Chain A
Amino acid sequence: KAGVTQTPRYLIKTRGQQVTLSCSPISGHRSVSWYQQTPGQGLQFLFEYFSETQRNKGNFPGRFSGRQFSNSRSEMNVSTLELGDSALYLCASSLEGDEVYNEQFFGPGTRLTVL
């Protein structure tokens, strides 16, 4: 079974631009979560999608948004990029089940550099 894939793997943008990152979950997984990893702040939760609906959101400004498609693939968008948005963006997918924690499987990440 293929793992979580993220595209592109590397991206360079300039301040003020916008960017879209893509995540394809493991086949059959319906929940997709996004995290930002930086040396200063570590790993921080951005948002989580399930059945095309945002179910939970972290403490990030409105410039960060996302969506999920009917095939569970997800995109996240960052508008008006700032230098501080330079980070590794990780996507994770999981099954959905009641009363049982379902392991989150992470992709390799997209390395975004803002110049």
Chain B
Amino acid sequence: GNSVTQMEGPVTLSEEAFLTINCTYTATGYPSLFWYVQYPGEGLQLLLKATKADDKGSNKGFEATYRKETTSFHLEKGSVQVSDSAVYFCAHMNYGGSQGNLIFGKGTKLSVKP
């Protein structure tokens, strides 16, 4: 069935360190892929997205590339800040299906220390 697997956290980094959060997916067809971020006490915010193979989504220094051959969408950032501390969710949705059916990974909690 459709699913998303992302690396378990928590991930603890020092400020300015390099970040990678791995995400792989199982889906039928050619899903759109997303990274959402959840700050403490808040709802989800879309961080970036990619809608087709080899697309690179980017926002606020974060990047992820849609790799169809490896069914992956790993999140990276070259230099993290304390303000990046949050929970990050990888998700996918299939085109042509319901607009409402996002499938999420379990989330990865990131803590960045000064």
Contacts of B93 in A (CB 8 A): 101
Distance of B25 from chain A, by nearest CB (Å): 14
- Does B46 contact A104, Cβ atoms closer than 8 Å? yes
Given known A-B contacts A106-B43, A109-B43, A101 and B98 have beta carbons under 8 A apart: no
Instruction: Select B98's contact among A35, A44, A56, A109, beta carbons within 8 Å.
Output: A56
Annotate B100-113 by CB proximity to A: 1 below 8 A, 0 otherwise: 11111111000000
**Contact indicator per residue, chain B 78-106, by CB within 8 Å of chain A (1) or not (0):** 00000000000101010101111111111
Give the interface size class of chain A: 20 to 34
With A42-B107, A109-B43 in contact, is A101–B100 under 8 Å at CB? no
Number of A-B contacts (CB under 8 A): 72
B27 CB–A CB distance under 8 Å: no
Residues of A in contact with B (beta carbons under 8 Å apart): 4, 31-33, 35, 42-45, 47-50, 55-56, 58, 90, 92, 94, 96, 99, 101-109
User: Using Cβ atoms and an 8 Å threshold, which residues of chain A touch B42?
Assistant: 108
CA of A50 to CA of B91 in the docked complex: distance in angstroms? Answer: 21
Contact with A along B17-46 (1 / 0, CB 8 A): 000000000000000100010000111111
Q: Within 8 Å CB of B105, what residues of A? A: 42
Contact status A90-B44, CB under 8 Å = yes
Contact A103 B100 (CB under 8 A): no
Give the complex CA separation of A101 and B102 in angstroms.
11
In Å, the complex CA distance between A6 and B32 comes to 27
Q: Which residues from B are CB-within-8-Å of A108? A: 41-43
Given contacts A48-B98, A102-B99, list 10 more A-B pairs with CB under 8 A: A32-B100, A33-B101, A42-B106, A43-B107, A50-B100, A58-B101, A92-B102, A104-B102, A106-B36, A108-B41
